[in-house]
Amino acid sequence: MVKGFKITKEKWVIIEKKDLEKIKIPTTKTIEIEYFVDAGQIDPIYFQKTYYLVPQETGRKAYSLFVEALRLTNKVAIGRVVIKNKEYVVALRPFKKGIAMHILFYMGEIRDIEKLEELQKLVVVSDKELELARALVQKLSESEFNISKFKDRYAEVLKELIEAKAKGKEFEIKEEEKEETKSLMEALKASVEAVGKKKEKK
């Protein structure tokens, strides 16, 4: 297998490993920090994936100082780094005892939501609909984010399926019947009532 860049329909420029090794930029072996911003300044849409950064033995003190400085100022460091022959923009933030490094998308890699055809014909909602929606959000609001409340239900059901097949049994899931609502208002009212009853039982 070789790497190449397509020039025309039948012509490719072949790129050898030794060619890529000639490309040396400052961030090839280091993370180059450009500036710092408040944590809330980065829209989550830019987050691509996350890595944990850990210090080498000789850099523990500098690492600890960096973590505490970010924590104290509530700032996130924005910089660049090369991973597998590609330069990425990264955001470094304090996470528990260490640093989380978020790989960010470049501006050109994110589709402009304003250009989506489906969003060009949005409708205006009524005040009553908005009030019911607000009431539903209030009833479903929690004081803090808690990811432990969520389990991978697909993985759990898949496990049940595997166990059933291993025992030679048939596996079947009964789908819940859902009532069709006639309007958005009815759907909102039904949701608000259902949430209220659920919280009363708890």
The string of pLDDT tens digits covering residues 77-108 is 999 998 877 889 999 999 999 999 999 999 99
pLDDT (0 to 100) of residue 55: 92
Residue owning tokens 């432990």: 148
Secondary structure in 3-state letters for 103-167: EECCHHHCCCHHHCHHHCCCCCCCHHHHHHHHHHHHHCCCCCCCHHHCCCHHHHHHHHHHHHHHC
SS3 196: helix
Contacts of 33 (CB under 8 A, 6+ apart): 77, 78, 79, 92
Look over the chain and give the mean of its residue pLDDT values, rounded to a whole number: 85
- pLDDT band of 61, cuts 50, 70, 90: very high
Tokens found for residue 108 = 């050109």
Q: CA-CA distance, 15 to 46, in Å (whole number)?
A: 30
- pLDDT band of 193, cuts 50, 70, 90: confident
pLDDT (0 to 100) of residue 156: 87
Q: Where are the domains of the chain?
A: 25-109, 123-172+180-201
pLDDT (0 to 100) of residue 28: 60
> In the chain, pLDDT over 90 holds for what percent of residues?
37
pLDDT (0 to 100) of residue 198: 66
pLDDT (0 to 100) of residue 65: 95
pLDDT (0 to 100) of residue 133: 87
Q: Does domain 25-109 have CATH number 2.40.280.10?
A: no
Tokens found for residue 163 = 């166990």
pLDDT of residue 27 exceeding 60, the answer is no
- pTM over 0.75? The answer is no
> In the chain, pLDDT over 70 holds for what percent of residues?
87
